[in-house]
Structure 1
């Protein structure tokens, strides 16, 4: 499975026109709160020395260590004071125009359901743990918060250029599966990694994937998978540089250039890549000891 999404065509019953719904925090069961606590404890034991400084600071500033699934209203109050963002509940994946409008206005959409206890290690649709534990701590960082707002505005423009495929790859390889060169070494910040027990280790420790210095056109040409570990990770030098590139790049001519070039496969290296670590690709071939 590669670059696919699954979503409804119109707001379901009970959702507002902008697809928002009440979180229904009071309706969570003791088992659901316990599932959050289990996931939280497992990840927070693993992430020191792996997650970026910005992510760990956000985790602490937002007080996500308090027991149980966070209440979005309380979480948004803390987040608003830091960067002006808020967290809003939606029933699942939402249409692109809705997603970009919320993001451009500093509203982060999050699913309000949580995975079952037998789904701790993998869930295809993003749940409240992925969305809140994975994404929201980074929204407490002022620079990354500005990047996501700029991304939302860029998405609105990309729809006019029939270029969502390329912008989606930028989101995937930064917001979802990005690495950063922190002062103490490579660190993870993408939500798909920090919320995953297995990929938190694979992304930094496994010899299989390539780790490549971030290059905007290269990232936007690169395909990805949604159902397995990544085989290419892209490393940003800093969030300031990521924001600068996003704000200063004229994307309209870039999209036209990208449309004239072939896509790059999920595990491919290009001759002009600045390779930080060249992977063995043993995972892709089924030989890696990390393979589930």
Structure 2
């Protein structure tokens, strides 16, 4: 949820935070949250990583209406030392990384309109809080997110933010996990989307490829539609281990100047869970890129 071309709004503090102003939400906005929550709550069991459901319970996010960050943060701090802070929209990279490194997750405070129920360009409070925050109650994933923030600060000094952004995209936003009974979703961009929850697991179109850090950081991604490839981790523990045990500076140097891989590429060394037909993507307009924000 970052973008380096932004100017800080006058309403925001130096760290780009703003008050949530929970009392200003109207009945229609609370009803939209409830509508979105109910739809995903019916769909996700059996599809989402169990840690996500555990997080919903620990944080009591099933309570009707848009969550009050003050109440939410009391429970989240007790669980993992994280808190949610409201921001007016997208934030610069350095601000984003600093918040993550210090266990603060930035969240938009607006909620989508009825005509945006299935897609909006800028992430809203449902995407940010429902999609991301439950896993921040999981100690291992919470540590991964903080490590990512520290890694972002280092990447900025090495000119490698674009490479690292792909790790966020293909894990935090659109990651899959290998479960005991098959693949499960955990990425917030999938978890908060009714249609992509179905597509990511059920559709024959996308590739589903075993996680490999170097391969992933060479891979472009979709910013306008469903992903053409998803990467599958073995566990949050393994994801954290690989992140904290990797010296990223030599990795960035090794990758410098290497060609990017297409969103639908299959490499000879890939651990393939499913080779996609790409039928869906080939029937749609194509756009790829590396923005630092969610769709």
Residue 35 (structure 1) aligned with residue 36 (structure 2)? no
| Stretches of 4+ aligned residues off by more than 3 angstroms | 4-8
Unaligned runs of 5+ in 2: 285-295
Match of residue 290 from structure 1: none
Shift of 1:66: 0.4
1:109 and 2:82 matched: no
Residue 166 in structure 1 maps to residue 128 in structure 2 = no
In 2: Cα distance, 1:206 partner to 1:103 partner: 33
> Once structures 1 and 2 are overlaid, which stretch shifts more, 242-251 or 9-18?
9-18
For residue 174 of structure 2, what is the aligned residue in structure 1?
A: 177
Corresponding residue for residue 15 of structure 2 = 18
The answer to whether the 8 Å contact 1:7/1:92 transfers is: no
Aligned residue among 240, 244, 248 for 1:247: 244
TM-score (norm 2): 0.94
Q: Give the corresponding residue for 2:210.
A: 213
**Counterparts of 2:4 and 2:185 in 1: how far apart (Å)?**
28
Task: Tell me the distance in 1 between the aligned counterparts of 2:268 and 2:227.
Answer: 20
Pick from 46, 49, 60: which aligns with 1:49? 46
- Residue 99 of structure 2 contacts residue 105 of structure 2 at CA under 8 Å; is this kept in 1? yes
Q: Counterpart of 2:64 in 1: which secondary structure?
A: coil
The CA distance in 1 between the partners of 2:172 and 2:2, in whole Å, is: 16
Alignment RMSD: 1.2
What is the total number of aligned residue pairs between the two structures?
284
**What TM-score do you get using the length of structure 1 for normalisation?**
0.95
Preserved contact between residue 87 and residue 110 of structure 1 (Cα < 8 Å) = yes
Q: Which moved more, 1:179-188 or 1:248-257?
A: 179-188
**What secondary structure sits across from 1:193 in the alignment?**
helix
* Matches for 1:93-172 after TM superposition, within 5 Å: 93-172=90-169
Does structure 2 conserve the Cα–Cα contact (< 8 Å) formed by 1:51 and 1:188?
yes
Q: Give unmatched runs, 5+ long, in structure 1.
A: 288-292
- Work out the CA distance in 2 between the residues paired with 1:13 and 1:282: 46
Q: Which residue of 1 aligns with 2:88?
A: 91
Asked if residue 263 in structure 1 is aligned to residue 260 in structure 2, the reply is yes
* Partner Cα distance (1:14, 1:274) in 2: 48
